């Protein structure tokens, strides 16, 4: 039954009119209207809409305050900058992440030390983090992979024991909680992304939380060139207001134009999460017999943000490789993603840190087998049926 030459087999003809785009955002009328209203207001830069977005996200996340920035990459860089680490400090992170997580460490003048991931949960392996702590280690930067909370209690305890800063890359984890508390609020810093594939988008944007309110004020300044007052508050002041530069900051603030796109999506977060849960459960049921490792069930007392439905090809049960799965799904007009090729395997990281990193068996095993299925809230039931049909065909 197995189709040895898929190109010649009629069953392999794509039946969809349009490709199913991986990670397509959902933009409604409220978003469109707010963007137009912002354009008509004459104020596009950081201003009242950013302040409103920050208030609403802080409330959603249960944080005292939030700083809107122009990407999660910027949030990570600002968090590390605010730690004022001496050059050459080490920051332990996971290799199973987007490259921006590790780049932020490099840009802060520090050395990324990669810990392995648990091949079942795809989250950072806390025991390996412990093994990798040296006298030069200053921080742990963990990722809530695919929206599954990592072991925040163990990581926080380890960080406290060794006086390290604990930073959460919560780019996948807006909706994720542990014991009812939002991911991104456990560490000294929490970093979120509003990139188009993420569950809320401002096209590009991000959010930064700090546990210490004094640090929040500094982050606000650091995100705006290190200036004491932004243009909106100076515009609002009686008479002309000067600003002062108190440290060399970055150009990382979010604009009102971008915030306008995100503002109303906050009201839809839960509804969209519910929709992804329906799609998730359908995938779990209908893909159960295939030679795949499906996402591990969430831990008790946690909420998974359901950002990525990552499958691992089980090569003990099929000879179809991961790259063949990607190519064939693409041919059938089903978009996919690879999250991720392990960061330490990329050429620059190999060249620069390869010798020190050595091999990370868990991350390398996942890296060779993983692919992610479309899971946008805007997908129809027919879209999901197409994904299942295509995957059954590809792996039959």
Instruction: Give the binding range for ligand PLP (CB under 6 A) out of 10-18, 65-73, 114-122, 311-319.
Output: 65-73
Q: Is 373 in the site for ligand PLP (CB under 6 A)?
A: no
| Shortest separation between residue 259's beta carbon and ligand PLP, angstroms | 14
Distance (Å, rounded) from C-alpha 105 to C-alpha 88?
Answer: 10
72 contacts ligand PLP (rule: CB under 6 A): yes
The reply on whether position 255 binds ligand PLP by CB under 6 A is: no
Q: Among 98, 114, 189, 349, which residue sits at the site for ligand PLP (rule: CB under 6 A)?
A: 98
Q: Does 261 bind ligand PLP (CB under 6 A)?
A: no
73 contributes a contact to ligand PLP by CB under 6 A: yes
Using rule CB under 6 A, residue 121 touches ligand PLP? no
**Cα torsion for 386, 390, 391, 396, to the nearest 10°?**
140
Told to check if 187 binds ligand PLP by CB under 6 A, we report: no
265 binds ligand PLP (CB under 6 A): no
Question: Is 89 an interacting residue with respect to ligand PLP (CB under 6 A)?
Answer: no
Of the candidate spans 70-78, 229-237, 295-303, 344-352, the one that interacts with ligand PLP by CB under 6 A turns out to be 70-78
* Rounded-to-integer distance, Cα 302 and Cα 289, Å: 27
User: Given 132, 138, 172, 198, which residue is catalytic?
Assistant: 198
Query: Does 96 participate in binding ligand PLP (rule CB under 6 A)?
Result: no
In the complex, what is the shortest distance from the CB of residue 78 to ligand PLP, in angstroms, rounded to a whole number? 12
Residue 193 is a binding residue for ligand PLP (CB under 6 A)? yes
Number of residues that bind ligand PLP (CB under 6 A): 14
Q: Does 147 bind ligand PLP (CB under 6 A)?
A: no
> Taking a C-beta distance cutoff of 8 angstroms, is the pair 191, 63 a contact?
no
Select 119 or 205, whichever has its Cβ closest to ligand PLP: 205
Q: Is 171 in the site for ligand PLP (CB under 6 A)?
A: yes
71 lies in the site for ligand PLP, by CB under 6 A? yes
**371 exposed, middle or buried (CB, 10 Å; 0-12, 13-18, 19+)?**
buried
Could you say whether residue 208 binds ligand PLP (CB under 6 A)?
A: no
Q: How many CB atoms lie within 10 A of CB 341?
A: 17
Q: CB under 6 A: which stretch of 96-104, 105-113, 231-239, 349-357 binds ligand PLP?
A: 96-104
Q: Is 114 in the site for ligand PLP (CB under 6 A)?
A: no
- Member of 101, 185, 302, 357 binding ligand PLP (CB under 6 A): 101
Q: What whole-number distance in Å separates Cα of residue 23 and Cα of residue 19? A: 12
No. of H helices and E strands in the chain? 14, 13
Measured from the CB atom, is 203 or 388 closer to ligand PLP? 203
Distance CA(315)–CA(322), nearest Å, equals 9
Q: Parallel, antiparallel, or unpaired: how do β-strands 189-193 and 165-169 relate?
A: parallel
Q: b/e for 72-96, b at 16 or more Cβ within 10 A?
A: bbbbbbbbbbbbebeeebbbbbbbb
**Maximum Cα–Cα distance across the chain:** 80
Nearer to ligand PLP, 149 or 287 (CB): 149
Contact between 108 and 60 (Cβ < 8 Å): no
List residues bridging with 224 in a β-sheet. 251
Place of tokens 């997580």: 101
CB nearer to ligand PLP: give 150 or 292.
150
Q: Is the peptide bond before 340 cis (omega within 30 degrees of 0)?
A: yes
- Catalytic, 198? Answer yes
Instruction: At 124, give phi and psi (nearest 5°).
Output: -60, 140
Give me the residues that bind ligand PLP (CB under 6 A), please.
Answer: 71-73, 97-98, 100-101, 143, 169, 171-172, 193, 195, 206
């Amino acid at each position: 039954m197995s189709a040895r030459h898929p190109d010649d087999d009629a069953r392999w003809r794509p039946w969809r009119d349009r490709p199913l785009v991986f990670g397509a955002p959902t933009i409604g009328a409220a978003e469109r209207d707010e963007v137009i209203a912002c354009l008509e207001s004459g104020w596009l830069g950081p201003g009242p809409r950013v302040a409103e977005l920050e208030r609403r996200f802080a409330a959603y996340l249960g944080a005292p305050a939030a700083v809107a920035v122009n990407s999660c990459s910027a949030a990570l860089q600002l968090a590390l900058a605010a730690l004022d680490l001496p050059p050459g400090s080490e920051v332990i992170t996971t290799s199973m992440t987007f490259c921006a997580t590790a780049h932020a460490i490099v840009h802060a003048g520090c050395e990324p030390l990669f810990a392995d991931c648990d091949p079942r949960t795809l989250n950072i392996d806390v025991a390996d983090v412990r093994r990798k702590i040296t006298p030069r280690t200053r921080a742990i930067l963990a990722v809530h992979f695919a929206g599954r909370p990592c072991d925040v209690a163990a990581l926080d305890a380890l960080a406290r024991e060794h006086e390290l800063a604990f930073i959460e890359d919560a780019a996948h984890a807006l909706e994720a909680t542990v014991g009812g508390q939002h991911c991104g609020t456990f560490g000294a810093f929490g970093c979120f992304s509003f990139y188009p594939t993420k569950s809320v988008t401002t096209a590009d944007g991000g959010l930064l939380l700090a546990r210490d309110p004094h640090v929040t004020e500094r982050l606000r300044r650091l995100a705006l060139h290190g200036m004491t007052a932004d243009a909106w508050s100076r515009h609002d002041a009686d008479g002309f207001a000067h600003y002062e530069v108190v440290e060399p900051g970055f150009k990382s603030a979010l604009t009102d134009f971008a915030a306008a796109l995100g503002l109303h999506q906050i009201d839809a977060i839960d509804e969209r999460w519910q929709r992804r849960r329906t799609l998730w459960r359908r995938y779990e049921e209908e893909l159960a017999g295939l030679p795949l490792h499906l996402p591990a069930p969430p831990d008790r007392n946690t909420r998974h943000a359901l950002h990525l439905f990552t499958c691992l090809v089980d090569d003990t049960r099929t000879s179809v490789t991961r790259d063949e799965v990607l190519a064939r799904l693409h041919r059938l007009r089903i978009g996919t993603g690879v999250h991720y090729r392990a960061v330490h395997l990329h050429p620059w990281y190999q060249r620069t840190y390869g010798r020190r990193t050595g091999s990370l068996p868990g991350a390398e095993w996942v890296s060779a087998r993983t692919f992610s299925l479309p899971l946008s809230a805007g997908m129809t039931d027919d879209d999901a049926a197409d994904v299942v049909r295509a995957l059954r065909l590809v792996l039959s």
